[in-house]
Structure 1
Amino acid sequence: MEIKPAAMVIPKDTSHLEQGKYGPVFPRTPACYGFTIIAKVKPGRADTMREYGNTLAKALEADPYLLAPLKLHYLRWVLFDDDTRFMYQGIFDTDFDKYTEDAVALFGKSGVNTAFENLEGFPEDWKTNPEAFIRFVREHQCPSFIEYGEYPYVTADEIKKALRVKNALSEMLDQLQ
């Protein structure tokens, strides 16, 4: 089966989309699901945000599967406008509602705080009030209007499985030589 690259335009008007618990359910696109959040950084907290990136990287070294429940493909964090604004981009395999609920549960279970605590307007009670966390994310979400996938609609689990098959095949071929 040939997989062809594909793109999908996402309409600006989301009123016709199915409504989830926390707002419109954006469609699965060739890039799977995802969102971009842009928010103001609390004054003086840019270095704390960067340090949180180091903390997360170290936590992932200790447990590479720490974020596995989120079914992520990619995360990208960006500080910009002279470190006064923060952009969070995530591409994942579940819809928005599930991803954000899973993120709150994961942070609560692991005892890890979120970098979002350094953003203006982020709810202090987010650990016990997931709705407030999700409302913040929705209010700061900047929906994309087109998404492209070189390998459209393929999940992270499918990619990992394909890589395991490739590695096993390579190992088998190496043994034949």
Structure 2
Amino acid sequence: MEIKPQAVVIPKETDHLEQGKYGPVFPRTPACYGFTIIANVKPGRAGAIREHGHTLAKALEQDPYLLAPLKLHYLRWVLFDDDTRFMYQGIFDTDFDKYTEDAVALFSKSGVSTTFENLEGFPEDWRTNPEAFVRFVREHHCPSFIEYGEYPYVTADEIKKALRIKNALSEMLDQMQ
């Protein structure tokens, strides 16, 4: 079975989309689910955002599976406009509602805070008030209007499984030589 690349246009109007617990459920695309947040950085906090990147990287060195409950493909953090604005992009396998609830639970449980605390308007009570967390994310979400997948609709778990099979096959072939 050949997997062909695909693209899906995402509608600008979301009134007709299924409504989840926290608003419209954007359709799964060939890139799976995801969102982009753009927000203003609190004055003087860009350094804290960069430092938080190091903190998260260290936490992942200690526990590579720390973010596993989020079913991520990738995350991207960008500071721009002379470090006054921040962009967060995430692609993952669950819908927005589940991702958000899982993120709040994960960060609360692990003791790792979110870099969003350095953004203007982010709720200070986010750990105990997931609705406020969601509201912030929804208010700062900039939906994409088209998404493309070279390997469409493939989950992170399927990719990892395929890589394990590839490595096992490679090892087997190496042993046969």
TM range (shorter): over 0.9
Unaligned runs of 5+ in 1: none
2:165 aligned counterpart, secondary structure: helix
Matches of residues 71-90 of structure 1 in structure 2 within 5 Å?
A: 71-90=71-90
Unaligned runs of 5+ in 2: none
1:164 maps to 164
2:61 maps to 61
Q: Deviations over 1:83-136 (max 9, x none)?
A: 000000000000000000000000010011100000000000000001100110
Matches of residues 21-170 of structure 1 in structure 2 within 5 Å?
A: 21-170=21-170
1:30 aligned counterpart, secondary structure: coil
Would you identify which runs of 4 or more consecutive aligned residues in structure 1 move more than 6 Å? none
Query: Separation in 2 of the partners of 1:157 and 1:21?
Result: 25
Query: Separation in 2 of the partners of 1:113 and 1:74?
Result: 19
1:49 aligned counterpart, secondary structure: helix
Query: Separation in 2 of the partners of 1:175 and 1:88?
Result: 44
Query: Separation in 2 of the partners of 1:112 and 1:50?
Result: 15
Query: Separation in 2 of the partners of 1:64 and 1:131?
Result: 28
Query: Normalising by structure 2, what TM-score?
Result: 1.00
Number of residue pairs matched? 177
Specify the code of the residue in structure 1 equivalent to 2:29: T
Query: Separation in 1 of the partners of 2:153 and 2:6?
Result: 9
The CA RMSD over aligned residues, in Å, is 0.3
- Identity across aligned pairs (percent)? 89
